[in-house]
A and B are shown apart, each in its own frame.
Chain A
Amino acid sequence: MNPPRPPRWADALLRLLCTPHLLEEVQGDLYERFLADYLAFGRKEASRRYSLNVIGFLRLRFGFERAGWSKALRTRTNSNHQTPYLAMFNNYFKIALRNLWRNRTTSIVSILGLSVGLASGLVIFLLVGYLFSFNRYHAKSERTYWVVTDIVNDKPQPTDVTPRPLGQVLRDEYPFVESAVRLNNVFGALVSVPDGKGGMSKKFEESRNICFTEPEYFKVFDSEWAAGDQRAALSAPNTVVLSREYAEKYFATDQAIGKILRLDNKTDLTVTGIIENPPSNTQLRYDVLISYSTLPGLWNEPGMMQTWGEPITMCWVALKEGAGVAQLDQALAEITRKRYNAKDAGTYKMRTIPLHEMFHMPGFGPAPRPILYALIVVGLFLVIAACVNFINLATAQAIRRSKEVGVRKTMGSSRAQLIGQFMLETAILCGAAFVIALLLTQLNLPMLNGALWMLRADISVLNLLNYNALWWFGSLVVLVIVLAGLYPSAVLARFNPVAALKGKPGAQRGGRFSVRRSLVVVQFFITQLFIIGVIVMSAQVKHLKTADPGFDREAILMVGIPGGNAARNDAWANQLGTIPGVRAVALGAEPPMSQMDADEPFTFDHRTEKEKFQVRVRMGDDHYVPVFGLKMLAGRNLESGDTSRREALVNQAMLKQLGVGKPTDILNKDIRLWDRERTVVGVIKDFNLDPLSNSAQPAVVINEPAAYTMTAIKLQTGTMDVTLPRIEKAWNALFPENVYHSGFLEDKINDFYSTEQILLDLIRVFSAIAILIGCLGLYGLVTFMAESRSKEIGVRKVLGATENQVLWTFGRDFGRLLVIGFVPAAALGWFLMSNWLQRYTYRIDVGWWIFALTIGVTALITILTISVQSMRAARTNPVLSLRSE
């Protein structure tokens, strides 16, 4: 029988680390103990004990002198007559830590500066990474295309939909199509849960996360199936698939298969499947998927599936592997030719958008690439600013290390070795900074996720662990270390040993404009660019929120109402009139300013052709104009008894586009809109129709009681606390089967600018960080200047310079750098901000005051930062600085 053997790895470890001349006896003892244990406790326990004993021998307590690993490795490397890398490495490490400790204030300042900069960079990069990850997780995302239609009239008007039969035709007739799915979004629906006794136990107002779609949805898009039969799902009419979250919301359990939901108080839907909650980086966030075949019954249009009319449903197409998008484009053109007459074929232009580009398409997704790239640039700027700051502080420190460098060089150290040493130091600092940065990032992400609540964002530092992120994060680390370490170590390594050991290291090279100064200029540039951005954006957002939009918005409460029942609407309006505190009530479809808008074609004055441009429609009753305070320029308001819906109001822009000169000239002319003649009875002043419109658009106000979906209630200020609950109570009594929702017009308008607000908040935070980092850099530079110019200042003072004159020498230096940084910052800032402002009709001018303010603020910050150090330098008694020569 073979004798039992101890675990091989433990043996190997011992051989590797134990001092060679002690190996025999140590191993012998351990082996003997192992055999004894083997007999007493068996193989497993003996092996365990053996391993523990080996580890016991490696303990530091056993000493570096005995079997300690360090000594063992050192003997190994030494015995081969190699350079003792490890010894040198240990030495570098030790010296680095000692130095960091000796200059702890500066070390902390530079680590903090770097980590704050890195953290902001990380936050931005994580955000951008998250925004770029949208819709890419689907297995077929590379070969799935979204088909959209441009309606080409006067100018092409993009839509996100296609004619209804398109999906079916593509699936059936084109073999290169693997699958296609049609989908209809629902923008507002009432979902209620029957209580089994004819009533409703719960009701919910849902918007945007409900859709009608086909069984192919699950073939084109990835979704994790939780319960129910996936293959049969969504094929039968009146069936629905829920996300787990929503199943729990409706039924308080995820065992919801077979249960019933009621849609809009009309149609019962049976739950046939549950899917896992969609991930946060999907644009197709649907929690309630209703079968597409429900639609004809619901809308009472049996033939709708075969009608080639206006584009009306969304459509995604997954191609077979190997098929190209060119084939799809060709097929779309062919279908348009075949199915439409010549005129319509010219009007409806179908085109494709790759699934993974959907999120970045201007007009279709919320994150256009230019904005994301701009964010990346902002992030890089912050990281660079942090590095610059770090370099400044590190080079300022370098002078104190000159003696060490002198000694090392005298002892035979090469330049490369010195550079290596200081790079190691930088790497240690950067490592610490990165750890702190990661912590800071994680602490701040909840705020960012909160700001992006409408995307249901869930960004976390753990996102760094995926493949792509590791790649850029790794490069960032390397980039920062190289960027921050290379210049300071080159400076240190080039000290002349003779001069350094004599104590005159300041062999000032590079005349008036050293690298350090240019770095400070870079920092001034970045800081001032940020300041310009903040000033312009703050002013613009303030302007947007306070500028007169042409209508009143104070104290107007918007309350939604279910459409389609004129009698009840009247009752509601009448009832409101009796509530004290309500000054006026208007019924209508939308407030004057709205984001969801489509323009409508129309005919003017019985002309034979439709007008070349389209008009925006606002629907409201005779109170619409007074409640919103729209100004009448000519004619009169809509009549209250306009029951035949024959009247219309137009705005000034409409006059201009139609070429009508005087407002009174258009009165009593006819407009044909939606196949109905209306007479213009009044002209109103232009008002802001669209939060981002490029110019005043032509608009009409008409009365269309069937389309009423909201009430605008002008309230008395001061008594709102009492009035609001009364309104809600009256509403609930009148519309028991629906959900009450209301909001003030002012809040809604502010919500239109939420993107601007988020952008502004972000840029404010990052500017503050950029300024902070800039200040640290300035502080570093002024410390260095005060130190290296102490003799010069001494001589000046001896020769009669006053404190103010000495201060001025500092001020002049920094002033020059500030101005040099300001010029490109102002130019670039002006260019960028003017471009950004082009998006807004109602915009501010980029005036000279912005730049004056910028330079003023920067100067103030600079003075505050450098004053303490320069005062100290100016006040020093020249005896102290000149004595040691």
Chain B
Amino acid sequence: MKRTYLGEFEELVLLTVAVLKEKAYGVAIADELQNQTGRSANISAVHAALHRLEEKGMLASHLGEATAERGGRRKRLFVVTALGSATLSEIKEMRNRLWNAIGPDTLIPTTI
């Protein structure tokens, strides 16, 4: 099956949007990303990824309410589309298949 390619960072962003449900917008996503993965994400990078994902049809967006803490500016809220959900679960399934294919003693246990 032919499907749109998803980069690693894009996948993380897409997942984070799913985590945040209806409260997914730029800064919130960047913060959540940092909390979950421990790596600091540049806002501009997050924005770029969001726009790319929207172009690919995996995210949909609308402008939300204005809030005082943003100096009265509205935020763009993102939700995962059906295509996005399908892609995510497909990736997960593929990974599971791969994990199952690995024999129990193949991977060297780490001592971290």
Listed in ascending order, the chain A residues whose CB lies under 8 Å from chain B are 3, 24-33, 35-36, 53, 56-57, 59, 61-63, 66
Which residues of chain B from 30 to 70 have any CB-CB distance to chain A below 8 Å in the complex?
30, 42-45, 47-48, 51, 63, 69-70
Question: Is there an interface contact between A25 and B63, defined as CB atoms closer than 8 Å?
Answer: yes
Q: Which residues of A contact B76 (CB under 8 A)?
A: 25
30 sample A-B contacts, Cβ–Cβ < 8 Å, listed by A number: A24-B73, A24-B74, A25-B25, A25-B63, A25-B74, A25-B76, A26-B26, A26-B47, A28-B26, A28-B74, A29-B26, A29-B43, A29-B47, A29-B75, A31-B73, A32-B27, A32-B69, A33-B30, A33-B43, A35-B69, A36-B27, A53-B43, A56-B42, A56-B45, A57-B47, A59-B44, A61-B48, A62-B47, A66-B47, A66-B51
Q: Which residues of B contact A36 (CB under 8 A)?
A: 27
Question: Is there an interface contact between A56 and B44, defined as CB atoms closer than 8 Å?
Answer: yes
Q: Of all chain B residues, which has the CB nearest A26?
A: B47
Q: With both chains docked as a complex, state the minimum distance between the C-beta of B48 and any C-beta of chain A, in angstroms.
A: 5
Question: Is there an interface contact between A32 and B70, defined as CB atoms closer than 8 Å?
Answer: yes
Q: In the complex, what distance in Å separates the CA atom of A25 from the CA atom of B71?
A: 11
Q: With both chains docked as a complex, state the minimum distance between the C-beta of B112 and any C-beta of chain A, in angstroms.
A: 31
Which of A29, A31, A61 has most chain B Cβ within 10 Å? Answer: A29
Question: Is there an interface contact between B47 and A33, defined as CB atoms closer than 8 Å?
Answer: no
Q: Which residues of A contact B27 (CB under 8 A)?
A: 29, 32-33, 36
Q: With both chains docked as a complex, state the minimum distance between the C-beta of B68 and any C-beta of chain A, in angstroms.
A: 9
Question: Is there an interface contact between A28 and B43, defined as CB atoms closer than 8 Å?
Answer: no
Question: Is there an interface contact between A27 and B44, defined as CB atoms closer than 8 Å?
Answer: no
Q: Which of A32, A33, A35, A62 contacts B48 (CB 8 A)?
A: A62
Q: In the complex, what distance in Å separates the CA atom of A31 from the CA atom of B51?
A: 19
Q: Which residues of B contact A27 (CB under 8 A)?
A: 73
Question: Is there an interface contact between B47 and A31, defined as CB atoms closer than 8 Å?
Answer: no
Q: How many residues of B contact A (CB 8 A)?
A: 19
Grouping DSSP codes into helix (H, G, I), strand (E, B) and loop, the A interface class, with mixed when no group exceeds half, is helix
Query: Which 8 residue pairs are nearest across A and B when measured between Cβ atoms?
Result: A28-B73, A56-B44, A29-B26, A28-B70, A25-B76, A57-B44, A29-B27, A32-B27
Q: With both chains docked as a complex, state the minimum distance between the C-beta of B76 and any C-beta of chain A, in angstroms.
A: 4
Q: With both chains docked as a complex, state the minimum distance between the C-beta of A347 and any C-beta of chain B, in angstroms.
A: 89
Q: In the complex, what distance in Å separates the CA atom of A314 from the CA atom of B71?
A: 80
Q: In the complex, what distance in Å separates the CA atom of A28 from the CA atom of B25?
A: 10
Q: Which residues of A contact B70 (CB under 8 A)?
A: 28-29, 31-32
Q: Of all chain A residues, which has the CB nearest B74?
A: A24
Q: Which residues of B contact A30 (CB under 8 A)?
A: 43
Q: In the complex, what distance in Å separates the CA atom of A53 from the CA atom of B47?
A: 11
Q: Which residues of A contact B47 (CB under 8 A)?
A: 26, 29, 57, 62, 66
Q: Which residues of B contact A57 (CB under 8 A)?
A: 43-44, 47
Question: Is there an interface contact between A25 and B45, defined as CB atoms closer than 8 Å?
Answer: no
Q: In the complex, what distance in Å separates the CA atom of A397 from the CA atom of B25?
A: 57
Which of B30, B42, B47 has most chain A Cβ within 10 Å? Answer: B47
Q: Of all chain B residues, which has the CB nearest A25?
A: B76
Q: Which residues of B contact A63 (CB under 8 A)?
A: 48
Q: With both chains docked as a complex, state the minimum distance between the C-beta of B59 and any C-beta of chain A, in angstroms.
A: 14
Q: Of all chain B residues, which has the CB nearest A56?
A: B44
Q: Which residues of A contact B51 (CB under 8 A)?
A: 66
Which of A28, A33, A57 has most chain B Cβ within 10 Å? Answer: A28
Question: Is there an interface contact between A53 and B69, defined as CB atoms closer than 8 Å?
Answer: no
Q: Which residues of B contact A24 (CB under 8 A)?
A: 73-74
Contact flags (1/0) for B61-94 with A, using CB distance below 8 Å? 0010000011101111000000000000000000
Q: In the complex, what distance in Å separates the CA atom of A30 from the CA atom of B27?
A: 8
Q: Which residues of B contact A53 (CB under 8 A)?
A: 42-44
Q: In the complex, what distance in Å separates the CA atom of A676 from the CA atom of B64?
A: 118
Q: With both chains docked as a complex, state the minimum distance between the C-beta of A820 and any C-beta of chain B, in angstroms.
A: 66
With A29-B70, A32-B70 already in contact, 8 other A-B pairs whose C-beta atoms are closer than 8 Å: A28-B74, A29-B43, A31-B70, A31-B71, A33-B27, A53-B43, A56-B43, A59-B44
Question: Is there an interface contact between B48 and A29, defined as CB atoms closer than 8 Å?
Answer: no
Q: Of all chain B residues, which has the CB nearest A5?
A: B71
